[in-house]
Amino acid sequence: MSAFSTRMTKARKVSIAGTTAAGVAALTFSLVPGSASAEPETVKTAQTTAAQASIAKQESTAAKKQAAAAAKAHAHAVTHDNAVAHANAVAHAKAKANAEAEKKAAAAKAAAKKRAVQQAASRATARKPVYANNLDGWIKESLSIMKKHGIPGTYDGLHRNIIRESSGNPKAINDWDINAINGVPSIGLLQVIKPTFDAYHVPGTAKNQYDPVANITAAANYAADRYGTIDNVDSAY
């Protein structure tokens, strides 16, 4: 190879290298502006994405707070309702217990009153003497009643007048004297006429002239009013 050829070859290499370098530079220049023009759009997209993420995060946080507040309010409402229900249940139970206690107290009071009445009746019955159903018993029972009503008289005074008037027969009747003629015969142990019996009848005795106790007591009441006491009577009166 000649020296010229060698120089030409070197020159071509330099030329080609320069052309190549220029092309690369041109290519690089053409690409760089394109990249530069695309960068703001990428940044904008990134910024938008970041803003959206921030908004989403804020919305999520707000939603969580709302949910927490709603849960708290619900829990408070449930607690309040439970407290009210519990208070109502306690009040109802207390009212029921009070009503039952009052009912039991009333029943106990009624039972106690009934027992007291029964005991009083039992004591009264025990104190009340039992009189024989004969002349002795009739006179003694009459004297007991006479004493309660302040009517004077003694066993002997009553017995003596009874024997004289009726011989102790409670069904004795006089159908021949003036009283019988006038339609009001003398009747019973002490031979009392109906108007006298009615006028001097003593409360607590039978309203029957033939009843021995009622007859004796009414006659003794009449004798006490007219003679001071049946003991002062020794004949028809």
pLDDT digits (tens, 9 = 90+) for 25-73: 443 434 444 444 445 677 677 778 887 888 888 888 888 888 888 888 8
pLDDT tens digits, one per residue of 188-228: 999 999 999 999 999 999 999 999 999 999 999 999 999 99
Residue 14 included in any domain: no
Task: Kindly state whether residue 101 falls inside one of the protein's structural domains.
Answer: no
The share of the chain scoring above pLDDT 70, in percent, equals 81
pLDDT digits (tens, 9 = 90+) for 17-27: 444 444 444 43
Confidence band, pLDDT 50/70/90 cuts, at residue 125? low
Residue 166 lies in a domain: yes
Q: Is residue 163 part of a domain?
A: yes
Total structural domains in the chain? Answer: 1
Instruction: With respect to residue 11, please indicate whether it lies within any of the assigned structural domains.
Output: no
- What range defines the domain where residue 170 resides? 135-232
Does residue 96 sit within a domain?
A: no
Q: Answer yes or no: is 146 within a domain.
A: yes
- CATH number of the domain bearing residue 227: 1.10.530.10
Residues 213 and 134: beta-carbon distance below 8 Å: no
Q: What is the pLDDT of residue 12?
A: 44
Note the pTM of the prediction, 2 decimals.
0.50
Q: Is 87 within a domain?
A: no
Residue 4: pLDDT over 90: no
According to the model, what pLDDT value does residue 7 have?
Answer: 44
